[in-house]
Amino acid sequence: MRKPERFRRFLDYFTTHFPEPQTELRYGNPYELIVAVVLSAQCTDKRVNHVMPALLEQFPTPAQLALASADNIFPFIRSISYPNNKAKHLAGLGRMLVDDFGSEVPSTIEELQRLPGVGRKTANVIVSVIYNQPAMAVDTHVFRVSHRLGLVNKTATTPLAVEKELVRYIPLVLIPKAHHWLILHGRYICVARTPKCEICPLKGFCKYYITNFGQPAAEDLNAATTPSI
Ligand code: SF4
């Protein structure tokens, strides 16, 4: 199967069955989202959602975060992965939001990447979720699922290479949604160790499945036509 056909089937499936995907991080404004996304690096959204209310009660705005030291922030995020580094990042992030951006979360990838703790992936999430721009954040789920499905070539060995291939084939208007579709599919169905191929509705065109198990029988496909997420 050629790549454009594979993309077409991927997009058709999710557009039909899951037209309005959302991030699972809870947030009320851009400041809260950027704090949550910084905390979510190598940590589950569930755990981040658990610590956010107390953290935001103490530091509800960039101005309050800017006044905090890493030591002040640490107790609120101690159960998150890499709490020392993330506490330092958040303290620096608060100060830079206030000093350089008028307490607003910037809207360009270049400006966002100046903030402590914000790499290209985090910046893409912010511009995609908050500003609805066509940016594809490639995390471990997006990377894995894109490769298994055969949406990207084997030679795409870095997140940036995967990002470039995906945005080449996905219509701009669908890129923010496709980001969520790939993440959620990777989180719940196409999981890292043992993908749940038996219940996956994408196996009819999935490169990994067809390579390892052959083309699925019609009854298998019919059994897997429920929404995957
Ligand atoms: S068929 Fe299996 S490998 Fe392919 S996307 Fe579904 S769960 Fe992942």
Question: 30-129 — its CATH code?
Answer: 1.10.340.30
* Predicted confidence (pLDDT) per residue in 22-44, tens digit: 899 999 999 999 999 999 998 99
**Alpha-carbon span 154 to 141, nearest angstrom:** 16
Q: Is 152 exposed, middle or buried (0-12, 13-18, 19+ CB in 10 A)?
A: buried
| Spacing, Cα 202 to ligand 1 middle (Å) | 6
Please name which of 142, 110, 106 lies closest in space to residue 31, comparing C-alpha atoms.
106
Q: Per residue, what are the HEC states of 51-111?
A: HHHHHHHHCCCHHHHHCCCHHHHHHHHCCCCCHHHHHHHHHHHHHHHHHHHCCCCCCCHHH
Specify the amino acid at residue 164: K
Residue nearest to atom 1 of ligand 1 (CA): 203
* Predicted confidence (pLDDT) per residue in 181-221, tens digit: 999 999 999 999 999 999 999 999 999 999 999 988 776 66
* Predicted confidence (pLDDT) per residue in 1-17, tens digit: 899 999 999 999 999 99
| Spacing, Cα 215 to ligand 1 middle (Å) | 12
Query: Full-prediction pTM beyond 0.75?
Result: yes
Domain spans of the chain, in order of start: 3-21+136-223, 30-129
Identified catalytic residue from 12, 71, 99, 121: 121
66-75, 121-130, 162-171, 214-223, range with the lowest pLDDT: 214-223
Whether the predicted pLDDT of 223 surpasses 60: no
* Domain 3-21+136-223 coded CATH 1.10.1670.10: yes
